[in-house]
Structure 1
Amino acid sequence: MSRIASPIDQIAQHYEVLVIGSGYGGGIAASRMARAGRRVALLERGKEILPGDYPNTLVKAAEQFQLHEPNGHIGSRTGLFDFHVNAQQNVLVGCGLGGTSLINANVSLEAKPYVFDDTRWPLSIREHRDTLLKDGYARAREMLKPNPYPENGAALTKTAAHQQSANKMGQAKEFYRTPINVNFETLPNNKNHVGVEQLPCNNCGDCVSGCNNKAKNTTLMNYLPDAWNHGAEIFCQAAVSHIEKAADGWLVHYQYVGTGREKFDAPTQFVKADIVIVSAGTLGSTEIMLRSQQKGLLLSDQLGLHFSGNGDILGFGFNTTQKINGIGFGDNQPPNKPADRLPVGPCITSVIDMRDQAKYEHRMVIEEGSIPGAIGKLMLPMLSTTADLMGKNDARSFMDRAKQKVRAWTSLWRGPYTGAIQNTQTYLIMSHDDSKGRMVLDAKNQLRIDWPGVGTAENVEVGNTRLNAATKALDGIYVPNPIWSDLFKHAIVSVHPLGGCVMGEDATQAVVNHKGQVFSGKSGTAVYENLYVTDGSVIPTSLAVNPLLTISAISERAMQLLAQDRGWTIDYTLPSAPKRPVVEDKLGIQFTETMTGYFSTAFTQAASTNLPVYEQAYQRGKADDSTMSFTVTVDSDDLEKLISDPKHPATMAGTLTAPALSSKPMTVTHGVFNLFEVYPEQVGVRHMNYNMRAIAEDGSNYYFSAFKSVPSDHSPFKIWHDTSTLYVTVYRGSDKTGEVLGSGVLHIQPTDFVKQMTTMKVSNAKSEQERIAAVARFGKYFAGVLWENYGGILAGKHDEKP
């Protein structure tokens, strides 16, 4: 499977359509707009993680966790598992190319018709339920390929146990196998309908930590490569901060995350677009729109309101008398799987569908699940402790409780694939809450969710009662979500957040209209015609079922209407195929650098080796307080070429700040960095060259051309000066043919150099030894004696996959 994301230095100045986010809403928007013949870019805040690189051990999983809590952010900004901690409503979402589809359980069920009869939905949605929305559901199924676990597949004990629970609860007729976005067939040439390599499910059970077997139909396996097949440009690690209205379209401000730019307090970059489609997920889209409102964009006062956790309830049937086999294989994938290890199956394979009950708060679905093997060893201490404190144990006899103890000890000594944990059923309920949560930005400008009493609502109480009944049917101990307790004020966790930018009739009721267009005021129906939101954030009610298919249908509908309104035609023909060459992953290296100094427009000679002239420009700029600085990320995707090629090319992206040229920071793109290139005009001199385009918010283009001069016969005492002093010339336009606008000198400050060293990362290393060797080789080549003084800082940095 090849990568589809482009280096961020290749981002263009302007796009016709810019999509923010890559889950169901964003993947669909990018695919459909590209199929309509538009020039499309997609920005994703996470990394592009391919099957084979998802975490399958506890150590790797821990590295992929990021935490948003009241005191700030913990962990990598690109961590796959993005957990938001709040007083009452906690939320887990995915971060990566594919969004939460990378870590969800794949269930594709439609919302019941009664959901759309609710007056919180705009009338147009209700009228189109059997036309445009129906078409949206159909198109989503065509791309996501949902189907139930096959009848002739390996027997799954967790599915059989769930059916036993349904039977004993009197819900036998409501039990069935769920349609799930998982491939169970051997495809022709192992290629799917958009030309991506795909294999049959191997029943490993690790769906929600990322499918390493290429069987799960995430948007990375369908909508996103389909968009790429049709010309869309995809950029990762671009975390959008806010959107700003410009005279000729929109400015989308983003930060290149995971590169160390935050260590230098670097400004945001930006890209222009005619049409912006915000699809960053319920939390992401709401946060972006709240920040945009904070920056002056006029929006509805309903922004951030009507948050729903989709009535999610988590629970466990612990230490039952039935074998469940609900722990994924983790790093024991075939062919390394022990012979006695039974198949787990996809995370969710069956449902007890209770959505036709008379009372609204009692309508819900109960699904069984699996726990990823990466965290399987944590389950016994967590569940055993919680079972003792708050579990409901109906075992009456001494013998029954003795057997429970034996199973618990077996798991403790032999691991989670035996004993009590092997006999533990995982449950997930989706139900109806009242959608009265509220999202706001706190004093640290991070998103918070406020929802007093959500954990004691009727649907939560009823749901836990039913999970207790499902567990009793298996003779186990019911253990509710450990934080659903008096100690934690009955807090709950959602993996299906909805709302915040809800759709409705006008701005007094909602944030967007039925098309997803954003209302342009606090009342009325006027909209920003070229600003859309389409993802879970627009859904105004809970769904009481997994929302991915409804989010997809709503998004398909929105894109169809967007195209129709502009006279565009979306070609839905399948299959599609890649049209660009595959790029092979090689050992690479990346670091982020900040330089500061002074620049003067009084010195307009073309670039030369006359260093005193640059020093004069520096002194004049300093006297005029004409500062200049940049923060750029230098990225080589081929370390061998960087070192062995005479020109040593690498790319650069970031920001340039120069008040003499632009009152606001400029975005750097198409940068080229040359490391120690031989300079034939001067014998024994090498240059480190920095050439990059800088784009101002008003559309002005500048070309920044600079070099560090490193003579081979310099004194050891001049090493620092030579490798930290940059001589700058700026031209008007996008290359050196334009008018010279000025010159100057920039320096690296020692404290910034120390920070720079901590940003150095190796990509695609196959082992820690390879990573260390790569850093050492680059360091020795890069700075010689300087490496001996500063290289120790790099020890201990971990390899990061792109």
Structure 2
Amino acid sequence: MAFATQKAGEAMPVYDAIVIGSGYGGGVAASRLARMGLHVAVLEQGRHWRPGDFPTTAKARRKTTRLTGRAPKIGDPAGLYYLSVGKGLTVFGASGLGGGSLINAGVVLRPNLDRLRKAGWPHAVVGDGLLLRGLDLAETMLGVAPAPNPERFAKFAGMRKAAEASGLSVQLPPMTISHRPGLNVSGVMQPGCRYCGDCWSGCNVGAKNTVGITYIADAVDHGATVFCESRAQSISKTETGWEVVVKDPSQRGVERRIEAPIVVLAAGTLGTNELLLRAQQRGLELSAKLGEKFSANGDDLVIASNLEVPVNAVATGYPSQGPRDASPVGPHSMALIDLGDEDGPLWVHDGTMLTMMAALAPLKDLLELKVGGALQLLTQGIYGDRLSRSQILYVVAHDDASGRLRLQNDQVVVDWPNYSTAPERLRAERKVKEMIESMGGVFNANPFAMTAFGGNRIIAHPLGGCAMGETVEQGVVAPDGRVFDPTKGPTGVHDGLYVCDGAAVPSAVGVSPLLTITALAERAMILLAKQLQRKLDVGEMLPHPVRDAAM
């Protein structure tokens, strides 16, 4: 049984709560508010993508990609992928029911609370036990588990060899992937993973435990209404709460105004900052810290090439585009190496090249005047010997969160020109280079940082801008998730206005942040339920009607 979504024009004028965004934070808020018995509207700019809908060709992926930020605003406004081009950084993300969960690697790691404490997180957040409760709930709802029998995948063997060359051991993190068919916690029937490696561009199998088929499905079961292709354009304060102006991106000039006493901003780090920056520009009193403390979570991407043994790390997709005799690639990212030390965290994740990315390899060689290498790649194809001996590695480390977000032509733009030369990033790159060379491979820096590709580093974990703090002088959001109101003193808040996504994170997390973001939203909803004196029964998930993952 599939649940229906609606368009912005079908929204009622008033709800008990409006949730803007449907990713990890928005999904939690929608589920928990609905479980409190509130009449909830969920606004999602993108479409409702189902297994089989995700693009599989380079042409189809280009068609559903849009550019924002400093770049000319082109592409489908409700498209699945977006690239927000900033100064020094480009953010890669997704729009669609489920937000970033649709296209991420799904690696789940718990944050180190001592590190968060030292990074200046509010004492209550790291010390009252509710974040730990949120972590437990998030892991249950997202059905996390490591890949079984990892030895069958060549790229796991490659990661193990890389770790051993540095005197370390490879780790198997839990992932938001269903490895066997069955019902998930929200009553959705899912097939098991086919290990095609294409998690990063959208799972056409239906095995990925996205927010759409976990938290959002639970929200709908408890009465929430979901509006897709419904972009929240602005928020403003009213006498009784908040007004949100919503537009259908496909219908220019058509807008809808809806109100609620509770509004949860969970439009992704960039989207949430954009809404608050616009509101501030139009007179809403907010912290002077808005737009500051932007972090890339220490993100980078490098490539290990000329490996001694093939790792077969080019995705085949589903249905398969690879050779008939191709072995399963494995999940997009399934193994970790911990290179962290007293100077800070440093995790190295394996990755899988999408066919579109693999096809750019000859162009990279040509730009570097390696004509012979380019011809070799063209002759062998993307599943040939040379690319089979190349491994994408994702770096998740630390940064000083000194980036800024600002409005330019009424849209949010990242401003961090010195990210590439930051000491923390250079340190991480040096350590990863040493690891690759110790196993006999060749280190290749982030290819997208080449001038020919725009010069920016592309990152996937934008955090901050609406950072939590103890007071309005320290942050934008209070420890309970409500937005500070400077007119009410150092700890005064705007009643009913919450930030429940990565925008509230006040520093680099040091690990892949999806679990931390989800847990923070769980914590905020627990506190909101207490404030409203509403029952929030999430200790034992109630039975749900059986649905198919193709919803």
TM beyond 0.5 = yes
What are the superposed Cα offsets for residues 744-795 of structure 1, whole Å, 9 maximum, x if unpaired?
xxxxxxxxxxxxxxxxxxxxxxxxxxxxxxxxxxxxxxxxxxxxxxxxxxxx
Q: Does 1:345 align with 2:358?
A: no
What are the superposed Cα offsets for residues 72-91 of structure 1, whole Å, 9 maximum, x if unpaired?
31101011111011220211
**Other-structure match for 2:350:** 368
Separation in 1, partners of 2:461, 2:542: 30
The CA deviation at 1:469 is: 2.6
What are the superposed Cα offsets for residues 497-520 of structure 1, whole Å, 9 maximum, x if unpaired?
000111111111111100110111
Q: Does 1:426 align with 2:405?
A: no
Alpha-carbon spacing, 1:485–1:460, altered in 2? closer, same or farther (3 Å): farther
Specify which of 379, 382, 404 is matched with residue 416 of structure 1.
Answer: 382
Superposed counterparts of 1:784-799, under 5 Å: none
Verify the 8 A CA contact 1:328 1:376 in the aligned structure 2: no
Separation in 1, partners of 2:158, 2:529: 47
What are the superposed Cα offsets for residues 255-276 of structure 1, whole Å, 9 maximum, x if unpaired?
111x241xxxx26421111100
**Other-structure match for 2:229:** 237
**Other-structure match for 1:544:** 510
**Other-structure match for 2:160:** 163
Q: Which amino acid is the alignment partner of residue 166 of structure 1?
A: A
Q: Larger relative CO (CA 8 A, sep 6+): 1 or 2?
A: 2
Q: Does 1:11 align with 2:20?
A: no
**Other-structure match for 1:295:** 282
The CA deviation at 1:386 is: 6.1
The CA deviation at 1:64 is: 1.2
Q: Does 1:480 align with 2:473?
A: no
Give the TM-score, by structure 1 length. 0.66
Q: Which amino acid is the alignment partner of residue 247 of structure 1?
A: E
Separation in 2, partners of 1:105, 1:119: 26
Separation in 1, partners of 2:309, 2:430: 20
Specify which of 280, 284, 307 is matched with residue 271 of structure 2.
Answer: 284
**Other-structure match for 1:77:** 77
Q: Does 1:226 align with 2:218?
A: yes
What are the superposed Cα offsets for residues 621-673 of structure 1, whole Å, 9 maximum, x if unpaired?
xxxxxxxxxxxxxxxxxxxxxxxxxxxxxxxxxxxxxxxxxxxxxxxxxxxxx
The CA deviation at 1:121 is: 1.0
Verify the 8 A CA contact 1:178 1:348 in the aligned structure 2: no
**Other-structure match for 1:198:** 190
The CA deviation at 1:521 is: 1.6
Q: Which deviates more from structure 2 when the two are superposed, residues 495-504 or residues 466-475?
A: 466-475
**Other-structure match for 1:502:** 467
**Other-structure match for 1:210:** 202
Separation in 1, partners of 2:224, 2:319: 37
Verify the 8 A CA contact 2:8 2:246 in the aligned structure 1: no
Separation in 2, partners of 1:546, 1:34: 28
Separation in 2, partners of 1:366, 1:388: 29
The CA deviation at 1:487 is: 7.8
Q: Which amino acid is the alignment partner of residue 372 of structure 1?
A: L
The CA deviation at 1:159 is: 1.2
Separation in 2, partners of 1:298, 1:136: 30
What are the superposed Cα offsets for residues 332-376 of structure 1, whole Å, 9 maximum, x if unpaired?
42xx76431111111111001233x1113xx21011111223x15
Q: Which amino acid is the alignment partner of residue 154 of structure 2?
A: T
**Other-structure match for 1:436:** 402
Q: Which deviates more from structure 2 when the two are superposed, residues 136-145 or residues 451-460?
A: 451-460
Verify the 8 A CA contact 1:322 1:474 in the aligned structure 2: no
Q: Does 1:460 align with 2:445?
A: no
Q: Does 1:380 align with 2:364?
A: no
Q: Which amino acid is the alignment partner of residue 371 of structure 1?
A: M
Q: Which deviates more from structure 2 when the two are superposed, residues 230-239 or residues 69-78?
A: 69-78
Separation in 1, partners of 2:280, 2:260: 19
What are the superposed Cα offsets for residues 181-234 of structure 1, whole Å, 9 maximum, x if unpaired?
1011122xxx32212220100000000100000111110120011101111000
Separation in 1, partners of 2:384, 2:448: 26
SS in 2 for 1:234: strand
Separation in 2, partners of 1:318, 1:337: 20
**Other-structure match for 2:342:** 358
Specify which of 479, 491, 499 is matched with residue 514 of structure 1.
Answer: 479
Q: Does 1:139 align with 2:143?
A: no
Separation in 1, partners of 2:363, 2:276: 38
Alpha-carbon spacing, 1:466–1:119, altered in 2? closer, same or farther (3 Å): closer
Separation in 1, partners of 2:390, 2:214: 34
**Other-structure match for 1:25:** 25
**Other-structure match for 2:95:** 95
Verify the 8 A CA contact 1:306 1:540 in the aligned structure 2: yes
Alpha-carbon spacing, 1:231–1:416, altered in 2? closer, same or farther (3 Å): same
Separation in 2, partners of 1:312, 1:36: 37
The CA deviation at 1:463 is: 1.9
Verify the 8 A CA contact 2:247 2:255 in the aligned structure 1: yes
**Other-structure match for 1:39:** 39
SS in 2 for 1:180: coil
Verify the 8 A CA contact 1:410 1:418 in the aligned structure 2: no
Verify the 8 A CA contact 1:57 1:331 in the aligned structure 2: no
Separation in 2, partners of 1:132, 1:71: 41
SS in 1 for 2:247: strand
Verify the 8 A CA contact 1:88 1:492 in the aligned structure 2: yes
Specify which of 182, 185, 188 is matched with residue 180 of structure 2.
Answer: 185
Separation in 2, partners of 1:38, 1:22: 17
Q: Which deviates more from structure 2 when the two are superposed, residues 301-310 or residues 79-88?
A: 79-88
Instruction: Name which one, 1 or 2, has greater alpha-carbon Rg.
Output: 1
Give the TM-score, by structure 2 length. 0.94
Separation in 1, partners of 2:443, 2:366: 13
The CA deviation at 1:377 is: 4.6
Separation in 2, partners of 1:7, 1:490: 38
Verify the 8 A CA contact 1:376 1:416 in the aligned structure 2: no
Verify the 8 A CA contact 2:45 2:228 in the aligned structure 1: yes
Alpha-carbon spacing, 1:69–1:516, altered in 2? closer, same or farther (3 Å): closer
Alpha-carbon spacing, 1:490–1:469, altered in 2? closer, same or farther (3 Å): farther
Verify the 8 A CA contact 2:7 2:229 in the aligned structure 1: no
Separation in 1, partners of 2:414, 2:390: 32
Separation in 1, partners of 2:437, 2:278: 48
Q: Does 1:561 align with 2:539?
A: no
SS in 1 for 2:336: strand
Superposed counterparts of 1:764-783, under 5 Å: none
SS in 2 for 1:297: coil
Q: Unpaired runs of 5+ in structure 2? A: none
Separation in 2, partners of 1:15, 1:69: 32
Q: Which amino acid is the alignment partner of residue 561 of structure 1?
A: L
Verify the 8 A CA contact 1:4 1:225 in the aligned structure 2: no
- Identity percentage of aligned residues: 35
**Other-structure match for 1:574:** 541
Q: Which amino acid is the alignment partner of residue 109 of structure 1?
A: L
SS in 1 for 2:527: helix
SS in 2 for 1:434: coil
SS in 2 for 1:14: coil
What are the superposed Cα offsets for residues 132-158 of structure 1, whole Å, 9 maximum, x if unpaired?
11100000001001111112x571111
SS in 2 for 1:171: coil
Higher strand share: 1
Separation in 2, partners of 1:205, 1:488: 25
What are the superposed Cα offsets for residues 439-459 of structure 1, whole Å, 9 maximum, x if unpaired?
0001x1111111131111122
Alpha-carbon spacing, 1:9–1:490, altered in 2? closer, same or farther (3 Å): closer
Aligned residues: 548
Q: Unpaired runs of 5+ in structure 1? A: 390-403, 586-802
Superposed counterparts of 1:593-608, under 5 Å: none
**Other-structure match for 1:699:** none
RMSD, matched Cα:
2.3
Verify the 8 A CA contact 1:379 1:421 in the aligned structure 2: no
